[in-house]
Amino acid sequence: MDFDWTDEERAYRARIRDFLRRELPPEWGDIARHGPGSKEQTDFSRTFCPKLAEAGLLVPHWPAEWGGADRPTWEHFILGEEMWASGEPRGAQYMNVNWIGPTLMRYGSDEQKQRYIPPMAKGQAIWCQGFSEPNAGSDLAALRTRAVRDGDDYVINGTKIWTSYAGLAETCFLLARTGGADTGKAGIAIFLVPMDTPGVEVRAIPSLIGHGDIHECFFTDVRVPASSRLGAEGEAWSIIRYSLANERVGIPRYELSARVLEEMVEDLKQQGRFDDPAIQIRAGEAAAACEAARLLTYRVVDQKARGGAPGPEANVARFAVVTADNSVTDFGLDFLPDFFSGLNRPGYLAHHERAIVAGIAAGAAEIQLNLIAHRFLDLPKVAS
Amino acid sequence: MYFEPNEDQATFLSVLDQIASGDGSGWKVPADWSRFHWADELDRTLEDNGFYDCAIEETLGPVTAAAMIHRLARLSVTMEFAASAMLRPFLPPDLPRPIAVIDGDPAAAIRYLPVARSVLSIGEYEVRAAMLDDGDVQPVESLFAYPMGVFSATIGRWQRIDVDPRRVRESWRVAVAAELGGTLLGGRDAVLAHLRERRQFGQALGSFQGLQHRLAASATKIEAAYWLTLKAAQGLEAADSAVALGYVQNAATTVVYDLHQFMGAMGLTLEHPLHRWTYRARLLKSALGGAGENLKLAASRKWRAA
Ligand SMILES: Cc1cc2nc3c(=O)[nH]c(=O)nc-3n(C[C@H](O)[C@H](O)[C@H](O)COP(=O)(O)OP(=O)(O)OC[C@H]3O[C@@H](n4cnc5c(N)ncnc54)[C@H](O)[C@@H]3O)c2cc1C
């Protein structure tokens, strides 16, 4: 057991930090304030990601064949931490890097790979993920969007909701039902749908979490060629399982939380209030929560780095991450409420908005608890 | 970053597990219905086979000592292992075990004192040790599932040990964190077994979501506490050890409450072993100042405040 970084890993992190110091403009804080799905941040990613690609820092963990450098899992993870902690200047493109690209490499047709992967590796593609629906959130397998085969095409009808990045994305990684209404997980297929296809309509949903972050997407008689289907009909569930296994621990949110906590403590020191033992206890508690989330996450990364499949430890880590994010944002609200009005500390507002999402997006905290109970503690299924 | 034990650690821990799952470690209702069962035989086996020396073995070290403490604390029986394993690098090799540790008020009831053969005092400026003689100690009745005692005579045989008291104190903090973490896990596992079996309203208690979520949230904390402790054992950075102990002490309150709730009346008896874990946890959660003090310490060390 060894809980320290190697010299090489430290140097890698330093290199990324140097890059960020050089490439993030002075007004970056104001841009990042709007949220990863905002027009401001998406536009920024269109120039930032190509620079990352050029420096070999966009897809280093991808195989060389697709523009990567076959770098180890830990480096990919360090990169993710640094990007998220600096406000995620890759915007929506982090999804391509983490799971959409690797999923296409594994399951895509030659045509799909040639068409979609190179732009991702160059930092020039914006995707969105069309999974959730008005009546299928936590119970994703209940989704109703239909894709009906019509000759060489499919015709898609339905509604997706909470779709991040949809307003600016060129392509949607869409789940739709090709089987009958009662086919559950087995009746779903994946479609790679260009967002400018006639019949696709996007409406931004006003929210507490950044400009233009979440959307409703309406698909009305959207006709796509059968060649836009990824994998076979009914194969969606196993493909998503594979792709999201890469994402099991999710975003390294604790890294931003830990850094925001540092800033909060600095503010309290400036105000001469950090000697208050009540404040110190709460700061220690928040710091411990961040450290807990970090180590539980690292354990899952370590499993992956050694070639293992992520187990229920990933759900444990996810729950700890939610606790850490909220612990820091609550600390700020309790002791530095003045910084949550006005724009003195855009970073606190941005962190708060990201933190309140942590327990909902990509599987609610309570779903994580269900999974921990069944898979980690081996408790019987919930009583009806 | 490597979370799996190395080859030597793996061998060490698996042999330890084998020994610790033997006859001497199981639950027995003692004839006198006492609150703890002193596992003398198991303790001697571990001592005779050099287990308490792991912290000074190059390929094992303090991380292994912390993992060992965590494992032994999961047992329902009681032994003195935290100081022996974790503080080994600082102690004279001939200091006899069991060792009682004074880390606060020497006049208060101290755990292990009635069975200890030596006592270690970790003061702010110095660390001292003394061997105990008959008549030095008087046992006291206690709520806690440890043999507790007070000094009945003034000890005049103290010897100063030439070590950095801060390092000893940080190691001790990690040792207590490991012991508390393992104690919570042991109690939790005993309750889980019950929840899978016991049926009410036609179903296993463990299938009620109201209980599942609390158990799952606790599982997260118990897991985190383990890794925080092992990491603190590796670096012995002052902030890390305070984080590890403060975190697990903070978690202990909810975990202990939940475990007793979920056992119903059975958890209030001396016939079910739950109390052996929870009444150790209830003492350890106030050790070295308790959660508030340790979290405050973590913050003040991390951010260099007064
Ligand atoms: C910022 C943000 C971005 C998102 N981006 C996307 C995206 O790009 N693409 C996409 O497809 N989706 C996206 N989502 C949707 C997200 O995946 C869902 O919100 C999530 O899966 C929960 O579904 P829901 O909101 O419908 O809540 P519901 O399923 O209605 O659940 C509401 C609450 O009920 C509780 N609950 C539900 N089921 C259970 C259960 N079985 N046991 C116990 N409690 C339960 C939980 O507390 C849950 O939070 C995004 C969400 C957010 C907040």
Question: DSSP of B159-174, one letter per residue?
Answer: EEE-S-HHHHHHHHHH
Cα–Cα distances (Å) from B236 to A3, A263, A298, B86, in that order, read 12, 25, 19, 11
Closest-CA distance, B64 to chain A, in angstroms, reads 9
Asked whether the beta carbons of B97 and B117 are under 8 A apart, the reply is yes
Residues with CB under 6 A from ligand 1: A 128-132, 137-138, 162-164, 209, 213-214, 357, 360-364, 366-367, 370
Using an 8 Å CB-CB cutoff, list chain B residues near A4: 1, 234-235
Structure tokens at B290: 């308790």
For residue range B260-300, what is the model confidence (pLDDT) as tens digits? Answer: 999 999 999 988 999 999 999 999 999 999 999 999 999 99
Predicted-complex ipTM score = 0.96
Task: Report the distance separating Cα B294 and Cα B66, nearest Å.
Answer: 18
Task: Give the one of B63, B67, B298 whose C-beta lies nearest to A287's C-beta.
Answer: B298
- Are B201 and A370 in contact (CB < 8 Å)? no
Q: Torsions phi, psi of A206, nearest 5?
A: -60, 135
Q: B56 lies in a domain?
A: no
* Residue B190 in domain: yes
Q: Do A241 and A154 meet the contact criterion of CB atoms below 8 Å apart?
A: no
pLDDT mean over A186-211: 95
Interface contact B236, partner A, CB < 8 A: no
Q: Mutating which of B54, B295, B297, B304 best tests the A interface, going by the most A Cβ atoms within 10 A?
A: B295
The CATH code of the domain that includes B207 is: 1.20.140.10
Pick from A276, A293, A375: nearest CA to A334: A276
Express each pLDDT in A108-121 by its tens digit: 999 999 999 999 99
Cβ atoms of B78 and B145 within 8 Å: the answer is yes
Report pLDDT for A343: 83
Are the Cβ atoms of A283 and B204 closer than 8 angstroms? no
The verdict on residue B261 lying in a domain is yes
Q: What is the pLDDT of residues A120-147, one digit of tens each?
A: 999 999 999 999 999 999 999 999 999 9
- Of all protein residues, whose CA lies closest to atom 2 belonging to ligand 1? A361
State in Å: Cα A216 to ligand 1 middle: 14
Can you point out the beta strands (E) in A205-299? Answer: 215-225, 229-230
Q: What is the pLDDT of residues A31-48, one digit of tens each?
A: 998 888 888 999 999 999
Asked if B294 has any chain A CB less than 8 Å from its own CB, the reply is yes
Joined tokens for residue A86: 């600096």
Distance CA B35, CA B78 (A): 10
Judge if the upstream peptide bond of residue B96 is cis by omega within 30 degrees of 0.
no
Q: What is the 8-class DSSP label of residue B96?
A: P
Q: Averaged over A213-237, what is the pLDDT? A: 97
Alpha-carbon gap, residue A14 to A59, rounded angstroms: 18
Q: How many CB atoms lie within 10 A of CB B257?
A: 13
Give the DSSP letter of residue A242: H
Task: Give B38 to chain A, closest Cα distance, Å.
Answer: 29
How far is the first Cα of chain A from the last one, in angstroms, to the nearest whole number?
A: 43
Alpha-carbon distances, residue A39 vs A31, A35, A129, A256, B156 (angstroms): 9, 9, 17, 22, 76
* B158 within domain boundaries: no
H helical segments located in B21-160: 40-48, 61-73, 82-86
Three-state secondary-structure class, residue B52: helix
Class of domain A7-125: mainly alpha
Query: Which chain B residues have a beta carbon less than 8 Å from that of A280?
Result: 295-296, 299-300, 305
Quick count: other Cβ atoms within 10 Å of Cβ A235?
16
Does residue B30 form part of some domain? no
CB of A311 within 8 Å of any CB in chain B?
no
**Rounded Cα distance, B223 and B248, in Å:** 10
- Determine whether the interchain pair A373/B212 forms a contact, defined as Cβ–Cβ distance below 8 Å: yes
Type of residue numbered A1:
M
- Reduced to 3 states (helix: H, G, I; strand: E, B; else coil), residue B149 is strand
Inter-chain residue contact A275 with B306, CB threshold 8 Å: yes
Domain tally, chain B: 1
User: What count of other Cβ atoms lies within 10 Å of the Cβ of residue B154?
Assistant: 6
Strand, helix or coil for residue A24: coil
Domain that holds residue B193: 165-303
How far apart, in whole angstroms, are the C-alpha atoms of residue A337 and residue B211?
Answer: 35
CA distance A11 to A27: 27
Rounded Cα distance, B105 and B102, in Å: 7
Stretch (H or E) spanning A286: helix A277-305
Largest separation between any pair of C-alpha atoms in chain B? 64
Atom 44 of ligand 1 has which residue's CA nearest to it? A366
Angle formed by the axes of helices A253-270 and A313-335, nearest 10°: 20
pLDDT at B165: 96
CATH 2.40.110.10 fits A129-234, yes or no: yes
DSSP run (H or E) holding A349: helix A346-358
Contact B139, B115 (CB under 8 A): no
Q: In what order do the strands lie in the sheet with B148-151?
A: B110-111, B148-151, B137-140
Q: Which residues lie across from B160 on neighbouring strands? A: B128
Residues of A whose CB is below 8 A from B54:
none
Per-residue pLDDT at A381? 86
List pLDDT tens digits, range A282-301: 999 999 999 999 999 999 99
Structure tokens at A343: 């724009």
Q: pLDDT exceeding 90 applies to what percent of chain A?
A: 89
For a mutational test of ligand 1's pocket, the pick from A138, A165, A174, A384, i.e. the residue with the most ligand atoms closer than 8 A to its C-beta, is A138
Contact at CB, A284 and B299, closer than 8 angstroms: yes
Domain A248-376: CATH class, spelled out: mainly alpha
pLDDT band at A242 (very low <50, low <70, confident <90, very high): confident
pLDDT of residue B237: 77
pLDDT at A383: 67
**Is B249 an 8 Å CB contact of chain A?**
no
pLDDT attached to residue B23: 73
Query: CB distance from B259 to chain A under 8 Å?
Result: no
Global model pTM greater than 0.95: yes
Q: What is the pLDDT at residue A384?
A: 64
A302 and chain B in contact, CB less than 8 A:
yes
What's the confidence (pLDDT) of residue B70? 98
Low-confidence stretches of chain B (pLDDT < 50) are none
**Are the beta carbons of B296 and A381 separated by less than 8 Å?**
no
Token readout for A285 is: 């508690």
Domain ranges in chain A are 7-125, 129-234, 248-376
Nearest alpha carbon to residue A128 among A192, A82, A187: A192
CB neighbour list of residue B129: distance below 8 Å, 6 or more residues apart: B91, B92, B95, B118, B119, B120, B121, B158, B159, B161
CA of A313 to the centre of ligand 1 (A): 21
The DSSP element (H or E) to which A47 belongs, if any, is helix A39-54
C-beta atoms of B212 and A74 within 8 A: no
Disruptive mutation site among A75, A269, A280, A322 for chain B (greatest number of B CBs within 10 Å): A280
Closest CA to B53 of B97, B18, B21: B97
CA distance B191 to B188: 5
Report yes or no: B224 at the A interface, CB cutoff 8 Å.
yes
